[in-house]
Chains A and B, each alone.
Chain A
Amino acid sequence: SAVISQKPSRDICQRGTSLTIQCQVDSQVTMMFWYRQQPGQSLTLIATANQGSEATYESGFVIDKFPISRPNLTFSTLTVSNMSPEDSSIYLCSVEDTGGAGEYFGPGTRLTVT
């Protein structure tokens, strides 16, 4: 299994500002994923982040709004840019199980935009 931490755990931000969320894993992993969970909803994949290459974004998500960095095999960041109240969500990072089945999730970052 993998132990994943996220910073910050929660934040309240003003509209128009940006927030960078950090995700740290206790082991080297190839794939890292970023999800959004809007209030009362399921998880929606934002993008897949591979070390050494650009992130792959899902339909409806763009790099200008959600830039992602993946500088090494244990760390990634997601930035939520030019925030609006609609961006209020829980943002979760996950890593793939080394056995290739399933993912381990971080505790999430609860973002509120006012």
Chain B
Amino acid sequence: AQSVTQLGSHVSVSEGALVLLRCNYSSSVPPYLFWYVQYPNQGLQLLLKYTTGATLVKGINGFEAEFKKSETSFHLTKPSAHMSDAAEYFCAVRRPSGNTPLVFGKGTRLSVIA
């Protein structure tokens, strides 16, 4: 079975500061990994994904994440936070084979302080 743990249900940063949202996963096979963002009263939008190849992946809005197999982690970062980054962020995992759905973490709410 697969699972995702997001450390910190709420993270608060100042505008312009580094954003770091933590995600650890458990999987019996090398997984596909994802970060989704959910703005208030909206659906989920894919930020970035890791499937194979380069372990540092870049996504939209200046976000990036690094797959570290030895640490079973896929932390999301952004060098400089904007007010518009305030949202709920979900890390998700799925097996690469077959038509299997995503397994989501509990989410981290990011607040950006002016």
Say yes or no for A96: interface residue by CB 8 A criterion.
yes
Q: Which of B36, B90, B101, B104 has the most CB of A within 10 A?
A: B101
B46–A104 contact, CB under 8 A? Answer: yes
Which B residues lie within 8 Å of A30 (CB)? 99
Q: For the A-B complex with A41-B106, A105-B44 known, give 4 more contacts whose Cβ atoms are closer than 8 Å.
A: A43-B90, A45-B101, A102-B49, A105-B36
Residue of B nearest to A103 (CB): B102
- Chosen A-B contacts, 9 in total, with CB atoms closer than 8 Å, are A41-B107, A42-B104, A43-B104, A45-B101, A48-B99, A100-B96, A102-B32, A102-B34, A103-B101
A42–B106 contact, CB under 8 A? Answer: yes
* A-contacting residues, B61-105, CB 8 Å: 90, 94, 96, 99, 101-102, 104-105
Q: Which of B43, B49, B105, B106 has the most CB of A within 10 A?
A: B43
Chain B residues close to A by CB (< 8 Å)? 32, 34, 36, 41-46, 49, 51, 90, 94, 96, 99, 101-102, 104-107
Which A residues lie within 8 Å of B104 (CB)? 42-43
* B-contacting residues, A37-69, CB 8 Å: 41-43, 45, 48
B46–A102 contact, CB under 8 A? Answer: yes
Q: Which of A42, A100, A103, A104 has the most CB of B within 10 A?
A: A42
Bound together, the chains give a CA A24 to CA B106 distance in angstroms of: 27
B101–A33 contact, CB under 8 A? Answer: yes
B43–A101 contact, CB under 8 A? Answer: no
Say yes or no for A78: interface residue by CB 8 A criterion.
no
A107–B106 contact, CB under 8 A? Answer: no
Which A residues lie within 8 Å of B101 (CB)? 33, 45, 48, 103
